[in-house]
Each structure stands twice: as C-alpha cells, then as structure tokens.
Structure 1
C-alpha cells in the first residue's frame, strides 16, 4: 500500500508542477472532508478548477483516464460545493479537469490534461 500511496503522491506532484508551468495557481491540495477528497484545487485566470489526478505505472489496467467514473465525477461536483462553502468563495466559473499521469517502466512520465470533464 505504501508503494501505491508513493506513486499517487508522485503523480500529484507532477500534476501540480504541470499545472503551475501552464499558468495555473494552486489554491489547495489533498483537501479532505467527511465526504471525500479533492486532489488539486487551482485557478486558471478567473476559473476555479478542481483536478482529479490519476496515476498509473502502465496500461495493463487501462489508461488513467479510463478509471474516472460517472460516480467519481458526481462526487467531485458535491465536493466542489463543500470546498467553496468552507472557503467562502463564489467564482465566476467552475470546471472539473482530469490530469492523468503515466509512469512507464522506461522513459519519462507523461502528463495528459483533459479540461472540462464535468
């Protein structure tokens, strides 16, 4: 389990770095409440962006993007409302993105950013 957690943390670190390098401002990471967790909350210009990060070491179980279910997206929408209430923010726009990180056995990691999935 520690290896899985370490891989997930490494993937989230890569995702955060990717977002910052592409003009996002990170507002929160690994925000937790009784209902669940948001991996990254960021701002891109005037848009609040909630990012779900999925990291995989290979494609044996499909791409990281394939692991995002309708149920997970529904949960993220609920968590966005809770995060906004806790932080007393009312952004003009809100978007949910997925950042998929693939850590192949050979070569460097790849980061795939899909905007506006929900």
Structure 2
C-alpha cells in the first residue's frame, strides 16, 4: 500500500494556489486577493496585469487517477455562475477595477510523490514539499465567458 499523503485536502489546495500565485507573479501579475469570499462563493486568486486586466482564477489541484480530468470537469456551469457572481461582488467593492478587462482563468495543478526524474518541460511551474511534487500543468486563459 502506498504511503498516505501527509497533507489534508485544504493543505493540498492551498499549496496548489501558492504555486499558481508564485507563477503569476513571476510572469508580471500582481496578486490582489487570495480566497476572496462572499456569500455567493469564493475565488481562489484575483490578479491584475499592468493596470489593464483583472483575472479571476480557479485553481484545481489533483493527484493521478482523479475522476474529473485534472479538475477540468469540476468547473461546471453552476461553479462558473458562482465565480461570476463573486467577481461581480469584488468589482462592486473595488469600483476602480470595474473598467478593467476581466477574464476567468483556470489553473490545473497535479501533485504526486516526488520522483528522482523530472522529464522534459511539461509543466509551467514546479514545487517540491514534504516528499511531494506539485506541478502547474495547464493555465487556461479566458476558460469561460462572463
């Protein structure tokens, strides 16, 4: 039997979000909020690019053999509507951002036990922690319409 992960579900999600936030910052984005919450829902990361664009980012962190294609299938129409309503609340609270171009992005992070081999550049960013490897496999810009 494989060793169980030393992380709980929330830890795994937080590490995935940390990885994505670090990658966004390294590509010129400014993180405005992490886990922005209102009664309609939560947005994992809200980021701004050069004072012109705001991205509302949903991060899905999954291990091998998951049921939802690395998190893609978890972004249902209901989930999209919750993110959209939450984004509206954010923009109402920060009206100076309301004229920015807005988009809804999805980041797919994979984690597994760390291996000695790192094959190719099949990921955008990588983080090793407590014997596990987290990789940003795909970043989907404008993943769904607002």
TM exceeds 0.5? yes
Structure 2: stretches of 5+ with no match in the other structure: 1-6, 116-132
For the pair shown, the structure with the greater C-alpha radius of gyration is 2
- 2:135 corresponding residue in structure 1: 110
CA RMSD of aligned residues (A): 1.5
String of CA shifts for 1:74-94, please: whole Å, max 9, x gaps.
111111110011122323310
Maintained 8 Å contact 1:48/1:91: no
Structure 1: stretches of 5+ with no match in the other structure: none
- 1:41 corresponding residue in structure 2: 46
How far has the Cα of 1:69 moved from its partner? 1.1
How far has the Cα of 1:110 moved from its partner? 1.8
Alpha-carbon separation, structure 1, partners of 2:99 and 2:54: 6
User: Secondary structure of 1:17's partner?
Assistant: helix
TM-score by length of 1: 0.90
TM-score by length of 2: 0.74
Alpha-carbon separation, structure 2, partners of 1:60 and 1:52: 17
Equivalenced residues, count? 117
Maintained 8 Å contact 1:36/1:79: yes
Maintained 8 Å contact 2:37/2:86: no
Per residue, is there more helix in 1 or in 2?
1
How far has the Cα of 1:64 moved from its partner? 2.0
